Amino acid sequence: MAPYLSLAIWVPILAGVAVLVLGRDRDAGTARWIALAGALAGFLVTLPLYTQFDLTTSSMQFVERSEWIPYFDIYYHLGVDGISVLLVLLNSFTTLLVVWASWESIKVRVAQYMAAFLVMSGFLNGAFIAQDAILFYVFFEAMLIPMYLIIGIWGGERRVYAAIKFFLYTLLGSLLMLVAFLYLYQKSGSFALADWYELPLSLQTQVLIFIAFFAAFAVKVPMWPVHTWLPDAHPEAPTGGSVVLAAITLKIGAYGFVRFVLPILPDASHYLSGFIITLSLIAIVYIGFVAIVQPDMKRLIAYSSISHMGFVTLGFFLFSVQGSEGALAQMLSHGFVSAAMFLWVGVLYDRMHTHLIADFGGVANTMPKFAAFVMLFSMANAGLPGTSGFVGEFLVILAAVKFNFWIGLVAAISLILGAAYTLWMYKRVLYGEVANARVAALTDLNRREFWLLATLAAAVLFMGIWPKPFIDVMHVSVVDLLAHVAKSKL
């Protein structure tokens, strides 16, 4: 069997290096085509992960394991299960979209831009499939470097502030996690995640480690109240940066909860579940209100992301199959929907160089095809049945009602709020009279943009109408995860 997982990491990274070496600033075309070829190859090598995936087992598949740093018992240990395989596919797919989306909009330092995304994509895949804590950490940290450069070089006006805030915020959490890793290594003599799942720990220790992990993953998710970097980073990031940030990097935080917090610290997770549920509900409701009043489209979508990610953390800490599967479905759906939302804002930004809602109005008159796509994505963002946004939210709310009626009720408020902020933005941007001369001069989607949005529209509808292929892949692994969480380690 071919080492698909290694390929999933190294094909994009090497493609990124090739773009840097071969692409010249004066000859942007070459860089674009090499990048597209690299992204496509990166996507193709991940497809066998889905087609050859064994749905009947919860153990790791496509495993690769070899010595890496024997001095420290660190292994180059890769593997995927039903939880991570879809995230790897989502990431490789999104990278392809990002390269395609920034074909014309990026004009300076094209080679560096494309290379940053490809390298980033490899690091993200690495974080999703690493089965060794230090290997995970290396990818988890290294991805900050390309993201920092993406926001800082190609970003908007306050890009420097946003880039440094993004970097330091996320670094603080991960450094504390590193100390927790070293402590666990001290206790178990191994960095293998599978060994840590079996390691007995006292409740007090579990709670301390929980705090360290929480610092790392909650910042990435991001959960209220450590979310403030996200609304600052998004408006300043270029379109591709926003897409990757929203669609993938946020998922790393949620993935960390599933892969590290729940199985390694089951007792602390139960002990502190009230805390996490409360924070999630605050994110869902309070941040939903905050989103309504945003004057900037990208900030609005950023807040809506935080609110949607609240469902993910809520779902995991309900400790039921329905809740966890809902959370995972929500992660995937949010990957598609947020990518689509940021892409359509990018389409407008390329034409008008602004993403303030007040600068628009009546866009539907000049861009009818565009308006149709935006309608679909807005509905998905609001969680309309038939779109992917509905599946996850519905499952999580269902699980929440079973867990406690009032939690379910509060979470359900999101359906109203989501509709409120998304549709009100839609109304102000696309409906009404043509607001000004610049809107009147807008041209509708070109062929590249059309197919880009059409691809995502197909994904959103497919997952909304027939979520079974997605749920089936994760089911066995989720059941196994919950069995781990139910077993006390005291």
Partner 1 sequence: MTVNLLPILPEIVVLIGASVVLLVDLFLDDDRRHIGYWLAQSTLLVAAWATLRTLDIDVVRVMHDLVVDDLVADLLRLCSFAAVSLVLFYSRSYLALRGLFRGETFVLILFALLGMQVLITANSFLTLYLGLELMSLALYALVAMQRGERAPAEAAMKYFVLGALASGFLLYGMSMIYGATGTLEIDRVSRAVLAGGENEILLIFGLVFVVSAIAFKLGAVPYHMWVPDVYHGAPTAITLLIGTAPEFAAFAMLLRLLGGALVGAEVDWQGMLVVLSVLSVTLGHVVAIAQVNLKRMLAYSNIANMGYVLMGFLAADVTGYSAAMFYMVAYVLTSLVSFGMIVLLSRRGFEADLLDDLRGLNTRSPWWAFVMLLAMFSLAGMPPTIGFYAKLLVLQAAVKAGFVWLAVVGVIAALIGAFYYLRVVKLMYFDEPVDRSPIEARADTRVLLSANALALLLFGILPQPLMGLCAVVLVQSQFF
Size of the site for partner 1 (CB under 8 A): 35
Nearer to partner 1, 20 or 412 (CB): 20
Nearer to partner 1, 70 or 443 (CB): 70
Nearer to partner 1, 52 or 202 (CB): 202
Check binding of 160 to partner 1 (CB under 8 A). Answer: yes
Among 14, 36, 37, 142, binds partner 1 (CB under 8 A): 142
* Phi, psi (deg, nearest 5) at residue 461: -70, -45
The length of the chain is 490
Nearer to partner 1, 130 or 343 (CB): 130
Nearer to partner 1, 2 or 179 (CB): 179
Q: What angle do CA 324, 283, 303 make, to 5 degrees?
A: 110
* Residues from 186 through 245 that contact partner 1 (CB under 8 A): 186
Among 68, 271, 286, 450, binds partner 1 (CB under 8 A): 68
What is the SS3 assignment for the chain?
Answer: CCCHHHHHHHHHHHHHHHHHHHCCCCCHHHHHHHHHHHHHHHHHCCHHHHHCCCCCCCCCEEEEEEEEEHHHCEEEEEEECHHHHHHHHHHHHHHHHHHHHCCCCCCCCHHHHHHHHHHHHHHHHHHHHECEHHHHHHHHHHCHHHHHHHHHHHCCCCHHHHHHHHHHHHHHHHHHHHHHHHHHHHHHCCCEHHHHHHCCCCHHHHHHHHHHHHHHHHHHCCCCCCCCHHHHHHHHCCHHHHHHHHHHHHHHHHHHHHHHHHHHCHHHHHHCHHHHHHHHHHHHHHHHHHHHCCCEHHHHHHHHHHHHHHHHHHHHCCCCHHHHHHHHHHHHHHHHHHHHHHHHHHHHHHHHCCCEHHHCCCHHHHCHHHHHHHHHHHHHHHCCCCCHHHHHHHHHHHHHHHHCHHHHHHHHHHHHHHHHHHHHHHHHHHCCCCCCHHHHCCCCCCHHHHHHHHHHHHHHHHHHHCCHHHHHHHHHHHHHHHHHHHCCCC
Burial code (b: 16+ CB inside 10 Å, e: under 16) for 266-302 equals bbbbbebeeebbebbbebbbbbbebbeebebbbbbbb
Among 43, 167, 319, 360, binds partner 1 (CB under 8 A): 167
Among 179, 293, 416, 486, binds partner 1 (CB under 8 A): 179
Among 37, 41, 178, 357, binds partner 1 (CB under 8 A): 178
Whole-number minimum distance, CB 197 to partner 1, in Å? 21
Whole-number minimum distance, CB 20 to partner 1, in Å? 8
Among 146, 152, 238, 467, binds partner 1 (CB under 8 A): 152
Nearer to partner 1, 166 or 360 (CB): 166
Binding mask 87-116 for partner 1 (x = CB under 8 A): ----------------------x--x----
Among 17, 37, 40, 172, binds partner 1 (CB under 8 A): 172
Q: Which stretch binds partner 1 (CB under 8 A): 46-54, 96-104, 146-154, 454-462?
A: 146-154
* Phi, psi (deg, nearest 5) at residue 422: -70, -45
Q: Which stretch binds partner 1 (CB under 8 A): 36-44, 166-174, 269-277, 319-327?
A: 166-174
Nearer to partner 1, 229 or 390 (CB): 229
Among 168, 199, 441, 458, binds partner 1 (CB under 8 A): 168
Among 36, 40, 176, 211, binds partner 1 (CB under 8 A): 176
Among 70, 204, 443, 490, binds partner 1 (CB under 8 A): 70
Q: Which stretch binds partner 1 (CB under 8 A): 70-78, 309-317, 414-422, 454-462?
A: 70-78
Check binding of 10 to partner 1 (CB under 8 A). Answer: no
* Phi, psi (deg, nearest 5) at residue 317: -90, 15
Nearer to partner 1, 144 or 400 (CB): 144
Whole-number minimum distance, CB 218 to partner 1, in Å? 16
Binding mask 426-465 for partner 1 (x = CB under 8 A): ----------------------------------------
Check binding of 128 to partner 1 (CB under 8 A). Answer: no
Residue ranges binding partner 1 (CB under 8 A): 68-72, 109, 112, 134, 137-139, 141-142, 144-145, 148-149, 152-153, 159-160, 163-164, 167-168, 171-172, 175-176, 178-179, 182-183, 185-186
